[in-house]
Amino acid sequence: MKISESSSIHPTVVIEGEVEIGPSVEIGPFCLIKGPVKIGERSILASHCVIQGPVEIGKNNRINPHCIIGTEPESRGQQSSGKIRIGDGNILTEQSVITHGTTPEGTQVGNHNYFLSNVHISHDCVLGNNITVAHNVVLGGNVLIQDGATIGIAAAIHQNSTIGAYSMIGMNSVVTKDVPPFALVLGNPIKFKKWNSYQMEKLGMAEFPSGELYEQYLSEFHSISKRDILHIPEE
């Protein structure tokens, strides 16, 4: 066990096994941390959180009350494998869950993502950076999400789906096909509504997605897509 002297740990916290806690980490009342777990500097765990390793959490993360990171993969007959890796600057709000993976790559979350309350991230999901996931969203196992995507309230993402960069999923949508980068989709099942002009304007794009960044994400999207890709009508 390696705990920085500058960290602040409430006396009711239970720590078991191989745990490393970096400088200026804050851990609130009644948390349970079972190693192997590593928590980076200036990260904050509010009360009643459960972290079960192997888990590696980067720096400057905020994890709100009653979040659970590291339960067994919800895949019948599968054993936990790999490590949950969470990058830097993420926010997990109340009662969000991230489960372990079934492969050596494990479940992965990048940097500067924002998860609102009751988000469920299932086994072997891989999330990029700057993603926003609204309340009550469920990501099935092996979901891949590229950078900058936004997923609306209570959307359900089928396992093995790929969500393209800077796309937007409308609230209460059911995603059963892969969503290309910059597409705005909604419905049950989802249908293409329009291009995500809000993100396109921020990135200096015109009426249609274009440019080097778009081509980069589109190439990656096709390389990782595992399901049928949602049809985009021609203008």
DSSP secondary structure of 125-145: -EE-SS-EE-TT-EE-TT-EE
pLDDT at position 213: 94
Instruction: Respond yes or no: is residue 124 known to be catalytic.
Output: yes
- Could you tell me the domains of the chain? 2-224 (2.160.10.10)
Q: Give the pLDDT band (50/70/90) at residue 72.
A: very high
Q: What is the mean pLDDT of residues 101-106?
A: 96
Q: Give the pLDDT band (50/70/90) at residue 222.
A: very high
Instruction: Respond yes or no: is residue 141 known to be catalytic.
Output: yes
132-141: pLDDT as tens digits = 999 999 999 9
Distance CA 56, CA 183 (A): 32
| Active-site residue (options: 53, 87, 89, 141) | 141
Percent of the chain with pLDDT over 90: 96
Is pLDDT of 143 > 90?
Answer: yes
| Active-site residue (options: 70, 106, 110, 124) | 124
pLDDT at position 207: 87
Distance CA 115, CA 121 (A): 10
Q: What is the mean pLDDT of residues 101-125?
A: 98
Mean pLDDT over the full length of the chain: 97
122: number of Cβ within 10 Å: 22
Q: Give the pLDDT band (50/70/90) at residue 206.
A: confident
DSSP secondary structure of 169-203: E-TT-EE-SBB-TTEEEETTTTEEEEE-HHHHHHT
pLDDT at position 234: 79
19-55: pLDDT as tens digits = 999 999 999 999 999 999 999 999 999 999 999 999 9
160-204: pLDDT as tens digits = 999 999 999 999 999 999 999 999 999 999 999 999 999 999 999
The pTM score is 0.95
Is pLDDT of 235 > 80?
Answer: no
76: number of Cβ within 10 Å: 5
| Active-site residue (options: 48, 66, 120, 123) | 123
Is pLDDT of 210 > 70?
Answer: yes
Q: What is the mean pLDDT of residues 113-139?
A: 98
Q: What is the mean pLDDT of residues 61-81?
A: 95
